[in-house]
Amino acid sequence: MKYGFFIFSILFAIPFTATATPNLINPNTTPETKSLYYNLAKLGDQVLFGHEDSLAYGAKWWGYNEDNSIHSDIKAVTDSFPAVLGADLGGIELGHDKNLDGVRFNDYAHYIKETFKMGGVNTFSWHMYSPVDQSDSWSKQPFVKTLIPGGEHHAQLVAYLDAFIAFNETLTVKVDGNEVWIPIIFRPWHEHNGDWFWWGKGHTAEQDYISLWRFTVDYLNEQGQNNLIFAFSPDRSRIDMANFEQSYQYGYPGDNYIDIIGYDNYWDLGHPANTVTVEEQQTLFVEGLVKLTDLAESKGKVSALSEAGQEGVWQDNFWTERFAAGIFANDKTARIAYALVWRNNNEEQGKKGHYYGTYPGEKNASDFVTFYNHPNTVFIDTIPAMYQ
């Protein structure tokens, strides 16, 4: 049997690996970063569960213990941390010690290192303040054309990227006596096909967005940021499903500038502004994931549901009947590498009910446990080795 399997492997596995292993756009990435990408690509029908800010705070708590031990609402409900931790850099460019949602960057570094040490995956988004007037990312002004190479505020964009570089270069841990740079899935300039951020459609010409993206990637690579995997993430609500490929690729900077074909989808999961029936939303949720994976595979890249969720998770059995039902609808939907839901806002810091995961006592907590126990969901307690 074993011998037969060996022959089979020689005949099929090697050629398969040679063609199916995608390459990162930056050839100089660290071995751990290359391994992460390779392992994301070969998860098959397993999907990593991710949660934004999961270790930083939850609905009813904040921070970590004096002995450095960490929490997560997801851990409190399932006894496992999520496989993917999302963090947002917004504010780092202004020299703030906390991000826009109040998380200290020093604390983020702790959570990122802990996630990596447990074998988990880290991803960053960046609600960047404007390099022109420091207004927040929701200011709808035509800044981008002044930030790209040749623009009058270009140097300020470079300074902002340098602030990220300084933080990124601190993200190392010792593994077996060697210093390892923690790989990061970096997802800048997200949801650009919407009109709510200053880099979005309406305030930015498509070609200028492409220049912004290409400059960002080229600059970070030139500066030796070799721990980055670049994820592209338009918003589903602005994608024409009848014309997915073309519509998805609004602002697409090219296959040499993207590693992960992602998208953010709140729209098909019960977004209050979406007026089509639940059944129709669910059909489109599934269809979108199929098309996303088809597009990624046609380009030899990895697909991901880079942000998702239902604010306040109001629908009974959301996790099983909506989320898992969509992600595991068929062998294509299940090919996405990860699905990250947005943050559980701390109830004392702003809006109550602005949560996308679960927490102890929350109405869908037991349904979440069923989701956690699904054979194809991956949390940190079942994550395969991603860095070798």
Which residues form the interface with ligand BMA (CB under 6 A)? 88, 100-101, 127, 342-343
Backbone phi and psi for residue 260, each to the nearest 5 degrees, phi listed first: -120, 130
Smallest separation (angstroms) from ligand BMA to the CB of 185: 16
Smallest separation (angstroms) from ligand BMA to the CB of 137: 8
Smallest separation (angstroms) from ligand BMA to the CB of 267: 14
Q: Closer to ligand BMA by CB, 80 or 358: give it.
A: 358
Contact assessment for residue 136 and residue 129, using Cβ atoms and an 8 Å cutoff = yes
Q: Give the span between the Cα atoms of 111 and 82, in whole angstroms.
A: 12
Q: Closer to ligand BMA by CB, 38 or 342: give it.
A: 342
Return the amino acid letter for 140: K
Q: Closer to ligand BMA by CB, 37 or 126: give it.
A: 126
Contact assessment for residue 288 and residue 244, using Cβ atoms and an 8 Å cutoff = yes
Q: Give the span between the Cα atoms of 243 and 240, in whole angstroms.
A: 5
Number of C-beta neighbours around residue 292 at 10 A: 26
Smallest separation (angstroms) from ligand BMA to the CB of 225: 22
Q: Closer to ligand BMA by CB, 56 or 258: give it.
A: 56
Q: Closer to ligand BMA by CB, 33 or 125: give it.
A: 125
Q: Give the span between the Cα atoms of 103 and 354, in whole angstroms.
A: 16
Backbone phi and psi for residue 304, each to the nearest 5 degrees, phi listed first: -155, 150
Smallest separation (angstroms) from ligand BMA to the CB of 222: 28
Q: Give the span between the Cα atoms of 339 and 266, in whole angstroms.
A: 12
Residue carrying structure tokens 């602030």: 163
- Cβ partners under 8 Å of residue 365, min gap 6: 77, 358, 359
Q: Closer to ligand BMA by CB, 90 or 120: give it.
A: 90
Alpha-carbon Rg of the chain, whole angstroms? 20
Torsion angle of the four alpha carbons 51, 102, 347, 124, in this order, in degrees rounded to the nearest 10: -10
Q: Closer to ligand BMA by CB, 47 or 100: give it.
A: 100
Dig out the tokens for 191 from the structure: 């949801």
Smallest separation (angstroms) from ligand BMA to the CB of 261: 21
Smallest separation (angstroms) from ligand BMA to the CB of 316: 23
Smallest separation (angstroms) from ligand BMA to the CB of 354: 6
Q: Closer to ligand BMA by CB, 63 or 119: give it.
A: 63
- Cβ partners under 8 Å of residue 123, min gap 6: 50, 84, 85, 86, 87, 184, 185, 186, 187, 231, 306, 340
**Element counts in the chain: helices (H) and strands (E):** 12, 13
